[in-house]
Amino acid sequence: MAMATAPTSVRAPARWQDFLQLLKPRVMSLVVFTALTGLVCAPEHLNPVLGAVAILCIAVGAGASGALNMWYDADIDAAMRRTRGRPVPAGRVQGADALALGIVLSLLSVMLMGVGVNWFAAGLLAFTILFYAVVYTMWLKRWTAQNIVIGGLAGALPPVIGWAAATGTAPLNAWLLCAIIFMWTPPHFWALSLYTSDDYAKAGVPMMPVVKGARSTRAQILIYSLLLIPVCVAPAFTGLGGVAYLAVSGLGGLVFLLLAWRLFRSHAGEAADPRNDDGLYDVRAGARDARNLFAFSILYLALMFATLLGEHLAGLKPLELFR
Amino acid sequence: MSDPNLEGEDFRKARRARNIAIALGLAVFVILVYAVTIVNLGSDVIHRPL
């Protein structure tokens, strides 16, 4: 049982900020950004009040799944340096309270989305919460090195929910936005895990570098990067992105590929190989390449979605090359 | 929720702040439901069959 090794006694008074931390505000802000892009790019325009409610529901739903994740993963979080300060492993919030918060916010966000916006978007939101909290957190994360590949779907769905909130449908272009985040997730997280995998190994989480080693992880990062770039450029050919988007996704994609190639040729992650006995987060020569790709991956995704958002808010025409 | 043995000024302050946060959250939720109802139904809220 996940909670077996987690502290159960409260050592300090639980502040409201601790409960806010359970909702993973930084993840929420990313979810809001991508969901807003989906909502704005949709061809039909939603009433601004309903649009704000839809984005709030998606944000709260994401926060709820974060709270459920922190409840279930308290044992893993307690074992990892990066997460041991979280409210549940630190003993500031009891696991049962995190669970209750997650369930209540999940129900409220899905119900309000259904009653106020539409039930298709509400269904997608419910699926996303369940997928992250149950399929990823309770199953994939502890079971397979493909955990973040499959589990990445939960993080990729918010733009589809935003699009569905505006139109009640989810056409190809909505799923293209989903596909971009889905294909972006493996190189992004594996680049990070190349220099934090000791932490995951100690917690018993089968991240790719822990299971397959650094060399195999670097090769898979390169393969996923090759698959990612065409997906990122595709919206310029389907009536979703304009000239600016084509330039950002294309040029950014070339830089992404260059960094992925450099990472592939480096020795990044080998200091963090569990067979070695180096310190946590020890960065040897070559790990800089992993950090470079990790940092650029965030910038690349943010720039692409910001460009799409900007083009649609400014009313710029998409390229429609193949339409 | 709170352990009586740990009751103190810090705990009372934290509990009061949590209660205020819950009250604000509920107030926001009520306002949202009201706003969504008005936007979705519009003037039909008034001109409905009795």
Q: How many CB atoms lie within 10 A of CB B41?
A: 12
* pLDDT at site B48: 67
- Nearest residue of chain A to residue B21 (CA atoms): A16
* pLDDT at site A2: 44
- Distance between CA atoms of B29 and A271, rounded to whole angstroms? 50
- Distance between CA atoms of A6 and A99, rounded to whole angstroms? 14
Measure CA of the first residue to CA of the last residue in chain A; give whole Å: 53
- Nearest residue of chain B to residue A111 (CA atoms): B33
Asked if A14 and B33 come within 8 Å (Cβ–Cβ), the reply is no
Tens of pLDDT along chain A (323 residues) come to 344 444 444 467 889 999 999 999 999 999 999 999 999 999 998 999 999 999 999 999 999 999 999 999 999 999 998 899 999 999 999 999 999 999 999 999 999 999 999 999 999 999 999 999 999 999 999 999 999 999 999 999 999 999 999 999 999 999 999 999 999 999 999 999 998 878 888 888 999 998 999 999 999 999 999 999 999 999 999 999 999 999 999 999 999 999 999 999 998 888 555 555 554 444 455 689 999 999 999 999 999 999 999 999 998 877 765 55
* pLDDT at site A212: 92
Interface membership of A15 toward B (CB under 8 Å): yes
* pLDDT at site A88: 96
Asked if A116 and B15 come within 8 Å (Cβ–Cβ), the reply is no
Interface membership of A116 toward B (CB under 8 Å): yes
- Distance between CA atoms of A315 and A318, rounded to whole angstroms? 9
Angle between helices A158-167 and A147-156 (to 10 degrees): 30
- Alpha carbon of residue A223 to chain centroid: 20
Q: How far is CA A119 from CA A124, A274, B19, in A?
A: 9, 47, 32
Q: Which residues of A are less than 8 Å from B24 in CB distance?
A: none
Q: pLDDT digits over B20-34, tens only?
A: 999 999 999 999 999
Q: Using an 8 Å Cβ cutoff, are A191 and A297 in contact? A: yes
CB burial of residue A285 (10 Å; 0-12, 13-18, 19+): exposed
Rounded to the nearest angstrom, the minimum Cα separation between B46 and chain A is 19
Q: Select from A171, A183, A176 the least CA-distant residue to A220.
A: A183
Q: How many CB atoms lie within 10 A of CB B13?
A: 12
* pLDDT at site A280: 47
* pLDDT at site A315: 85
- Nearest residue of chain A to residue B18 (CA atoms): A16
Q: Select from A5, A6, A203 the least CA-distant residue to A92.
A: A6
Asked if B29 and A14 come within 8 Å (Cβ–Cβ), the reply is no
- Distance between CA atoms of A33 and A42, rounded to whole angstroms? 14
Rounded to the nearest angstrom, the minimum Cα separation between A281 and chain B is 35
Rounded to the nearest angstrom, the minimum Cα separation between A128 and chain B is 22
- Distance between CA atoms of A249 and A270, rounded to whole angstroms? 31
Q: How many CB atoms lie within 10 A of CB A146?
A: 14
Q: Which residues of B are less than 8 Å from A14 in CB distance?
A: 14, 18
Interface membership of A10 toward B (CB under 8 Å): yes
Q: Using an 8 Å Cβ cutoff, are A33 and A74 in contact? A: no
- Distance between CA atoms of B10 and B5, rounded to whole angstroms? 13
* pLDDT at site A120: 98
CB pairs under 8 A between A and B: 47
Q: Which residues of B are less than 8 Å from A53 in CB distance?
A: 32, 35-36
Provide the chain A residues 268-307 that lie in CB contact (below 8 A) with chain B.
none
- Nearest residue of chain B to residue A48 (CA atoms): B39
Interface membership of A97 toward B (CB under 8 Å): yes
* pLDDT at site A317: 73
